[in-house]
Structures are given as C-alpha cells and as structure tokens.
Amino acid sequence: MPEGVQLWNFRPYETIAVQRISGALGAEISGIDLTKPLTDALYAEIYQAFLENQVIFFRDQHMTPEQFLAFARRWGGIHLHPYMKGLDEIPEILELIKTETDTYAFGSSWHSDQMFAPKPAKCTMLLGREIPPAGGDTMFANMYLAYESLSPGMRATLDRLKALNSGDKKRGGGTKNRAERYSGAQGMKLKDPGNIQTDSVHPLVRTHADTGRKGLYLGSHTQHLDGFTPEESEPILSFLRAHCRRPEFTCRFRWAPGSLAIWDNRCAQHYAINDYAGYRRRMHRITIKGEDAPF
Ligand code: SIN
C-alpha cells in the first residue's frame, strides 16, 4: 500500500451498520429495509457511507421496479442511458441480461459509467435479479488511491491533461462498433445506435464535487489524451490503466438476488466479470444524473 494514503475514516453511524469489505474501497450496509421510505437522517447516513467507501452494498433488498425507482429518485434526477433502451413499463430502469447463450457481457471492461457523455452519470445503482450459481461478480477500483499513490511529478503532469472519451470503441481502434458489440446479445436493446453523439473531452484528473479529493478519471471509453496523437498518449494511458487495476486498489462483490450496489462514478471504476458461460444473469440498473463540467 502506498505510504501516506489515508484509507478511510471510521465514523459512528447511528442507524446503519457499515462493514468494510476490502482495504481499498467498498462497504456492506446492513440494518435497513430499502422498500420503506427513507427518512432524511437515514438517507444522510447512507450518503455518508457512499462518500467514504466509493461503493456500498446492501443484501436482500427485493424491491419491485417501482420501489427501486422511488429509492433511486431520493438520490437525484434519473440519468437516462443515451443509447440503451430501458424497461417498457419503467424506461428509467435498464435491464442487463446475459442469457445462457450470449457471449457479450455489458460492462466487462474497466470503466466509469458514460464517460463519453458531456454530463456523465454521478452514480449507478445495480440490483441483482437472477444470478449465476458461481461467477458474474463485479470488481471496483478506487481512483482516489490510484491518483494519490502516484509521484508528485506525475500528479502535477496529469493534473493539466484532458482526454477524449468515446462510446464507440471502434473509433479508438477497437474491432467492433456499438451496434456490432450488442448484435449477439439477446437480452440487450439499443435505442438508435446510429444517431447518438457519444464523444466527450473530460479532465484526466477529476475533483470530486462532494469530497474535494482528486482521482484519476479514465476507463475503457478513454481514447487518447486531448491535444496528443493516439501514439503519443498510449504509453501514458497504458501505464495508468495498469496502475488503476492494481489489486491493492480494488474490491470484488459476489451477487445474490436482492443484492444492491451503488457506486460513485466520480471516483471509482468497475468491471463486470464475464465468467459464467452457460448461465443467465439479470440485473436492474438505474443511473443518477451527474454534475455539470468542468469537474
Ligand atoms: C455496468 O457496468 O454497469 C454493469 C456491471 C455489472 O453488470 O456487474
């Protein structure tokens, strides 16, 4: 673990119990039923745990889609996905399904949600509905730690940089565009893959609006540094990508039906592990609107 890095603050909670699941980030919260309306005091404690741990987890929250949406609205306006189609009856909820025969798994690369959007999602809520008997875990990485553990010289250099982020990896030299990636995935529905502008330039180091801490802001959407050629920026981005994924910066969550994760896209990356071929996984996902740039 890098020296001089503060891992987390222990704070007394009055209503909820918060159990850290790894040294880097992530905490499981118990003692709460999210199907019931949240008081302001309870919401404040949950939000505090969210800021302290970057990703929080709840177990056995078998919410109906309507209850899930009501809970999510407590966190802010709903961010509709720019190119994925939500449930017919509740379009704010995106259903992520990987069937027994699908090979593509949504989110199976290290990323922060919708970095390609001018105003990326602040946080994402993912509720487990059907979970394979083994596999299908999600990993998370703490971007504050990734930034704070770099040398002062490297931090000062990165502080000044921006990067282009794209929702279409083919533009950045990937092998498949968005429509091609989703074509074999039976459960997933695109809105109109041809007509959506999904390129945005954002700072490579992002200052968190609530905590004021700086973190690296990159992921699989990141194509190249702004003002650099892809060849010039790739060595820097490759180094940073590998650095962000160091096991010391991560945690891993094992899902069950009714498990809920809420992660902070402003300071964490995540990765959906695609290791459950032949099994079905079904999740409900809601994203909350983010802040205006610059951040
Ligand atoms: C996502 O990237 O939003 C999906 C994560 C997951 O399915 O575990």
| pLDDT tens-digit readout, 155-170 | 999 999 999 998 866 5
Residue 244 CA to ligand 1 centre (angstroms)? 18
pLDDT score of 182:
55
What confidence tens digit (pLDDT) does each residue in 111-165 have?
999 898 889 999 999 999 999 999 999 999 999 999 999 999 999 999 999 999 9
The answer to whether residue 294 sits within a structural domain is no
User: What CATH number is attached to the domain comprising 182?
Assistant: 3.60.130.10
Q: Whose CA is nearest to atom 2 of ligand 1?
A: 107
**Residue span of the structural domain in which 49 resides:** 17-287
Determine contact, residues 223/165, Cβ cutoff 8 Å: yes
The answer to whether residue 4 sits within a structural domain is no
Output the CA–CA distances (angstroms, integers) from residue 221 to 87, 111, 199, in the order listed: 25, 7, 9
What confidence tens digit (pLDDT) does each residue in 240-292 have?
999 999 999 999 999 999 999 999 999 999 999 999 999 999 999 999 999 88
pLDDT score of 1:
43
The answer to whether residue 125 sits within a structural domain is yes
pLDDT score of 4:
46
What confidence tens digit (pLDDT) does each residue in 7-38 have?
455 568 999 999 999 999 999 999 899 999 89
Number of domains in the chain: 1
Q: Whose CA is nearest to atom 6 of ligand 1?
A: 272
The answer to whether residue 9 sits within a structural domain is no
Q: Are strands 222-225 and 162-166 parallel, antiparallel or unpaired?
A: antiparallel
pLDDT at residue 56 above 60? yes
Rounded-to-integer distance, Cα 10 and Cα 226, Å: 39
The answer to whether residue 2 sits within a structural domain is no
Rounded-to-integer distance, Cα 149 and Cα 207, Å: 16
The answer to whether residue 3 sits within a structural domain is no
Identify the burial level of 160 via C-beta atoms within 10 angstroms of its C-beta, where 0-12 means exposed, 13-18 middle and 19 or more buried. Answer: exposed
Atom number, ligand 1, closest to the C-alpha of residue 107: 2
Residue 154 CA to ligand 1 centre (angstroms)? 30
